[in-house]
Amino acid sequence: MTISELLTAYDQQLRTDAETPSAVAVECLGPLRLVTFAGGRGFVTYQNLDGAGAATIAGWVAGALASFREDPSIVRVEWKTRGHDSAPGLHEALLGCGFEPEETESVMVGPARALCVDVDLPDGVNLRRVTEEPDIRAMSAMQDEVFGSPASDGNAEAILRRVARDDGMELWVAEHEGKIVSAGRLEPVPGTDFAGIWGGATLEEWRGRGIYRAVTAARARAAVALGKSLIHSDSTEYSRPILERYGLLRVSTTTPYCWRR
């Protein structure tokens, strides 16, 4: 598939309710989907902005934030932008409402089977799928460390709620002598050709040794077993070259803009 074909599949299949399977509530404002997640998180996404001009877009930004501000439990809102969208004035409108841009990532899409490679792991490192609470908490703590987030139970609690709902998410880790050194999620998207790979993190001292590739390959094999033919991921500059090496293509970029109460 060409980049154009992959981007069309991404826009049509994923930029719908399929993007937010763990939503607690969803409201609409024009083309916007205002999503509430557990833990006081708001999220704004859309398939496109319908050719709107800067003034209309500024009104949507202000209206979306006002809606979330009315709920005192919402402490953080993410507005997910895509680099290929036509969105005049969006950056300025978001800044004007107190949103701050975070790191831009690459939207990677490609065939799942391309990632199903054999990887030689370092001695003593093994892969497994985890489902039990102690493993999930250990995995989340490692990811917080890697991503530079303050240590908290928030991520673990959110994942545990999803595990309890049995929504199809799979958690894969690599460990050495009982310590989790790398991890990532697989998120099959119901009703689509896609599965997402998310949360990929490897402790710094274990990077460059094939472990992330092995965790990714394990997730890709699981996706194929579930009948998914395409993988998508928002990738940092650490993971993007690895995914490109195995056939995924950079079809766009995404930049989250975040507001905090």
Instruction: Provide the greatest CA pair distance for the chain.
Output: 59
Residue where a domain stops, chosen among 106, 135, 161: 106
Q: Are residues 75 and 166 in the same domain?
A: no
Last residue of a domain, which of 106, 122, 149?
Answer: 106
Q: Is the pLDDT of residue 15 over 80?
A: yes
DSSP label at 152?
-
Residue 98 has pLDDT above 90, yes or no: yes
Name which of 84, 90, 101, 40 is nearest 61 in CA terms: 90
Whole-number Å distance between alpha carbons of 37 and 245: 34
Pairing of strands 25-29, 100-101: unpaired
Q: Are 231 and 111 in contact (CB under 8 A)?
A: yes
Six token digits for residue 133: 């609470």
Alpha helix positions (H), 15-96: 54-69, 90-96
* Same domain, yes or no: 150 and 74: no
Residue 222 has a pLDDT of 97
Q: Do 77 and 186 belong together in one domain?
A: no
Q: Which domain holds residue 216?
A: 110-253
143 and 242 in a single domain? The answer is: yes
DSSP character string of 161-190: HHHHHT-S-EEEEEEETTEEEEEEEEEE-T
Q: How many domains does the chain have?
A: 2
Does position 151 have pLDDT exceeding 80, yes or no? Answer: no
CA distance 50 to 165: 34
Residues 102 and 9 occupy one common structural domain? yes
> In the predicted model, is pLDDT for residue 81 greater than 90?
yes
State pTM to two decimals.
0.88
Specify if 260 maps to a domain.
no
End position of a domain, from candidates 106, 137, 171 = 106
Whether residues 84 and 7 fall in one domain:
yes
Give the pLDDT confidence score for residue 42 in this predicted structure.
Answer: 97
Q: Dihedrals φ, ψ of 234, to 5°?
A: -95, 115
Q: How far apart are CA 169 and CA 164, in angstroms?
A: 11
Strands 76-82 and 230-235 come out as: unpaired
**Which helix (DSSP H) or strand (DSSP E) does residue 138 occupy?**
helix 133-147
The stretch 29-43 carries a mean pLDDT of 94
Asked if the structure places residue 25 within a domain, the reply is yes
Q: State the Cα–Cα distance between residues 46 and 31, nearest whole angstrom.
A: 6
Is 135 in the same domain as 169? yes
Q: Write down the pLDDT at residue 22.
A: 80
